[in-house]
Copies of this chain bind each other. A is one copy, B any other.
Amino acid sequence: MTVKLTTKEQINSLLDKYDTFLFDCDGVVWIGNELLPSVKETMELLQQHDKKLIFVSNNSTKSRNDYIHKLNNFGIFNINVDQIVNSAYSTATYIEKVLKLSKTDGKKIWVLGQSGITDELNNKGYQTMTFDDLTKKFPHDELTMDNIDNLIFKDEINCVVVGLDFNTNYLKVGITMQYLLDNNIPFIATNIDSTFPFKNTKLPGAGSIVEIVKFASNREPNAICGKPNNGMMDSILISNNLQKDKTLMIGDRINTDMKFGFNNQIDTLLVLTGIETEERALNEKIITYYTNKLGDIYDLSK
Contact = CB atoms under 8 A, between A and B. Distances in A.
Interface of A: 145, 148-149, 165-170, 173-174, 177-178, 181, 194-195, 198-205, 207-209, 211-212, 215-216, 218
B215 A208 contact: yes
Nearest to A192: B215
Given A167-B170, A169-B170, A194-B218, A208 B212 contact: yes
Contact of A199 (B149, B204, B207): B149
Question: 8 tightest CB-CB pairs across the interface, nearest first?
Answer: A204-B216, A212-B212, A208-B216, A211-B215, A169-B169, A174-B203, A168-B170, A208-B215
Nearest to A167: B170
A205 B205 CA distance: 20
Contacts of A215: 194, 204, 207-208, 211-212
A199 to B, nearest CB: 7
Contacts of A173: 168, 204, 208
Given A167-B169, A169-B168, A170-B165, A205 B201 contact: no
